Amino acid sequence: MSERQFVIHVNGKRHKVATEEDRSLLDVLREDLQLTGTKYGCGEGECGACTVLADGEAIRSCITTLGEVEDREIETIESLAADGELHPVQQAFIEKQAMQCGYCVPGQILTAVALLKTNIQPTREEIIAAMTGNLCRCCNYPNILAAVEHAAGGAE
């Protein structure tokens, strides 16, 4: 596969990256930009560990090429906290103990952030439907659900 130069926008910054055309966004985020909060799980679009936002939409960076996101604004977990304050979804994950090993958590949080951007008061069923593709090998699903409900101002 040939190499070319891409321009991508990540966390409000513009980056020029010269790389193979089929290289995944996940690889570039972790290896070239050192944004290691985005995790490698399955590498096949099945687990959600690599979730990032593209124009606010949750996408799987392991199956996304740079060419697919050149004109989109990418946000990773590193972008969420601002001015020393955690994002409300991050805070809710702490308060509801929604992490055990923590490996799935960046993807879980970004999926929840994407949901709450479009649906500020989702029902429990809507949260489950939105989060169902984000797997947690620690099976901490009840606490993850509680955290998203808490962030949405719902059930305690």
* 112: contact with ligand FES by CB under 6 A: no
| Cβ-contact 131, 107 below 8 angstroms | no
Which residues 54-73 are close enough to bind ligand FES by CB under 6 A?
Answer: 60, 62
Which residue lies nearer to ligand FES by CB, 7 or 94?
94
Q: Is 49 in the site for ligand FES (CB under 6 A)?
A: yes
DSSP letter for each residue of 75-133: E-GGGS-BTTB--HHHHHHHHTT--SS-TTHHHHHHHHHHHHHH-SS--HHHHHHHHTT
- Of the candidate residues 22, 46, 68, 70, the single one contacting ligand FES (CB under 6 A): 46
Residue among 40 and 78 whose Cβ is closer to ligand FES: 40
Q: Are residues 107 and 84 in contact, defined by beta-carbon separation less than 8 angstroms?
A: no
Is residue 52 near ligand FES by the rule CB under 6 A? no
Is 41 near ligand FES (CB under 6 A)?
A: yes
| Shorter beta-carbon distance to ligand FES: residue 6 or 93 | 93
